[in-house]
Structure 1
Amino acid sequence: GESFDPRSSLYLYGNGDGPTSTATIDFAAATGTEYADEVENVSFRINDIDWGSGNHTDVVTVNAFDA
């Protein structure tokens, strides 16, 4: 796949049963810019989703909403 900036990442970690991590990414225009609060061509790479014994099951939900 395409390379990603090594300084651009989000690390989620949990230890135990139940929901342990939540992240919200909000794209908003900077004050005074000519752009509205919209983005395009956004891409995500999700690595290391696990399904294991006991309580070690990762569940990932991505919600995207049209501006």
Structure 2
Amino acid sequence: MSITTSLVLSSEQHRLLKRLAGTRMMRGSMQNASVSEVIRTLITANEAAFKAEIEELSRAQTEA
């Protein structure tokens, strides 16, 4: 299942993601120049750190 969301990015951030997606497509590591795929890859690569940050806050709130 996919969910559509919107992100508020600066023009520079948007250009950076578009250029990265295009570069990855030209290199052959992606079939399409997809900013969404770049973001999904970033989330996957950092998922453990994101979850640890969430858990840290949850623990701090529980102890308070």
* TM-score past 0.5 threshold: no
Structure with the bigger percentage of helix: 2
After TM superposition, the score normalised by the length of structure 2 is 0.22
